[in-house]
Amino acid sequence: MFHHISVAVKDPQHVATVLAEILCGRAVPFPPNPGSYMALAGDEFGTLIEFYPIGSELIPDSYQGQAGFQINQNRARYTFVHAALSVPASLEEIERIGDREGWRVFLANRDGLFDVIEFWVENWLMLELLTPIMTPKYLQALNPETLPALIDQFTLVESRR
For 10-55, list the strands marked E by DSSP: 26-29, 37-40, 48-53
Q: Are 37 and 83 in contact (CB under 8 A)?
A: no
pLDDT digits (tens, 9 = 90+) for 87-133: 999 999 999 999 999 999 999 999 888 999 999 999 988 999 999 99
pLDDT digits (tens, 9 = 90+) for 38-92: 999 999 999 999 999 998 877 787 667 778 777 777 776 767 788 999 999 999 9
Same domain, yes or no: 53 and 124: no
Q: How far apart are CA 77 and CA 79, in angstroms?
A: 7
Q: CA-based angle 60:20:62, to the nearest 5?
A: 10
Same domain, yes or no: 92 and 157: yes
The residue from 33, 48, 75 where one domain ends is 75
Same domain, yes or no: 96 and 159: yes
Q: What three-state secondary structure class fits 40?
A: strand
Q: Which domain holds residue 47?
A: 1-75
The residue from 60, 75, 90 where one domain ends is 75
Same domain, yes or no: 3 and 15: yes
The residue from 22, 56, 75 where one domain ends is 75
Same domain, yes or no: 66 and 143: no
* pLDDT given at position 120: 95
Same domain, yes or no: 67 and 38: yes
Cα Rg for the chain, rounded, in angstroms?
17
* pLDDT given at position 154: 75
* pLDDT given at position 158: 66
* pLDDT given at position 137: 95
Categorize the per-residue pLDDT at 139 as very low, low, confident or very high, splitting at 50, 70 and 90. very high
Same domain, yes or no: 50 and 118: no
pLDDT digits (tens, 9 = 90+) for 5-46: 999 999 999 999 999 999 999 999 998 889 999 999 999 999
Same domain, yes or no: 93 and 70: no
| Number of domains present in the structure of the chain | 2
